[in-house]
Amino acid sequence: MQILALNCGSSSVKYQLYDWQKMEVVAKGMVERVIIGDSFILHEVPGREAYRFDYDCPDHQVAIDLIIRTLVDPTHGVLADINDISAVGHRVVHGGEKFTCSVLIDEAVLDAVKEVQHLAPLHNPPNISGIEAAQAVLPQVPHVAIFDTAFHQTMPEHAYLYPVPYEWYEAHGVRRYGFHGTSHLYVSKRAAVILGKKPSETNIVTMHIGNGVSHCAIKGGVSVDTTMGLTPLEGAMMGTRCGDIDPAIPAFMMQKENLSAKEIDGILNKKSGVLGITGRFTDRRDVIEHANAGDHRCKTALEIEGYRLKKYIGAYMAAIGRLDAVVFTAGVGEMGWPIREKAIEGLEHIGIILDRERNKGAMTRKRESLITTDDSPVKVYVIPTDEELVFTEDVAAILDGTYTDHMNFEYTFSRPDFVRK
């Protein structure tokens, strides 16, 4: 059984083709810089050199088509026929309160996802585009939605409710939902294995840092709090999203600049965060490069991000009590050693002792690395995430009839003998 996992982000589409019988990745890759220009696909097949092809992708529909063409390409592909694909798993960022686990997609499911797309304006629309594009190409195979929000459904009421009129929750579902659930699930399970503990025995703070950023407080193996809220706008400073700000600022600026609700929402989601501070960058590699060259606004952006990351580590440590580990993951979390350093330096008083050389050496997306000293009471790891593997295993389990909640279902990557291929 060949399972294709699709992860449509705001400016990228990650994919992975997995052979379930052989339990191995057949091909994986990413279309980067979708919509923003200079887009390209990077296609990886085990045993071959990586293949890069520059191709303009003005939207996610074009990016999906490029992936399909690459998978069946006579030279660079891995499939004789696209019909060799048995099922497709799709990342869906926001499921509202209607979905607490992965589900087979039918018309009713897709309509429900569309109903809440305004809550994740950067992601649900491309998620929907990916589903519709893949259904058009592969109408005969089952498609499964894997929700970012599902992992966080274990949050207690006092963590997910906001101190606003309760009627807002009852009538409109205004509450904290949380996102990047599959990533937090994967790396927390891997951290438990590295620590030599059962997930139910571990307390971990996971830090997913990419263009979108979210952190999760995991107590006893389950999510008890997370930084993103009703939408992915709340929480940490991100590539283009503001994260936590004074809630009076939007109304204040709407009056000052005569902005509509839609315009202020667009600014906070698409023109703030790292881009808002630097005025020109969202990619942290660009920010670090120009900060090192003396650009004051880039230096400031790095200081703001590092400071806010540090505050959340402390806050979540207070929330969950004894802390076993902090985990950095996703593009920036895995590759941005200067940002990791700013986030955890000076935390010796709470048991985190950074090893600067280990941290600088952890610059790969293929290895799990310890970046604290051996005697650090709280360990800090860099663990490359693998959301696509979570998608794949959920799809296979749903088709098999063995799917259940993540604390009772044994994922392959939660086993001590798991080897990342």
Active-site annotation, residues = 148
Least Cα distance to 3 among 25, 34, 33 occurs for 25
Cβ neighbours, 10 Å, residue 158? 8
Fill in the amino acid letter for 13. Answer: V
- Torsion angles phi and psi, residue 143, rounded to 5: -120, 135
Determine what percent of the chain falls in helix, strand and coil, rounding each to the nearest 5. 40, 20, 40
Q: In angstroms, rounded to a whole number, what is the distance separating the alpha carbons of residues 147 and 48?
A: 32
Fill in the amino acid letter for 151. Answer: F
Residues 6+ apart with CB under 8 A from 75: none
Provide the β-strand partners of residue 87: 3
What is the Cβ-side half-sphere exposure of residue 383, based on CA atoms within 13 angstroms?
29
Q: In angstroms, rounded to a whole number, what is the distance separating the alpha carbons of residues 411 and 420?
A: 13
Sole residue written with tokens 């994740």: 120
Using DSSP's 3-state secondary structure scheme, residue 236 falls into coil
Look up residue 270 and give its two tokens. 């698409």
Q: In angstroms, rounded to a whole number, what is the distance separating the alpha carbons of residues 178 and 90?
A: 18
Distances, alpha carbon 100 to alpha carbons 96, 148, 189, 198, in Å: 9, 9, 19, 23
In a 10 Å sphere around its CB, with 0-12 CB exposed, 13-18 middle and 19+ buried, how is residue 105 labelled? Answer: buried
What is the Cβ-side half-sphere exposure of residue 404, based on CA atoms within 13 angstroms?
5
Q: In angstroms, rounded to a whole number, what is the distance separating the alpha carbons of residues 325 and 207?
A: 11
Least Cα distance to 149 among 87, 91, 221, 233 occurs for 91
Q: In angstroms, rounded to a whole number, what is the distance separating the alpha carbons of residues 386 and 16?
A: 10
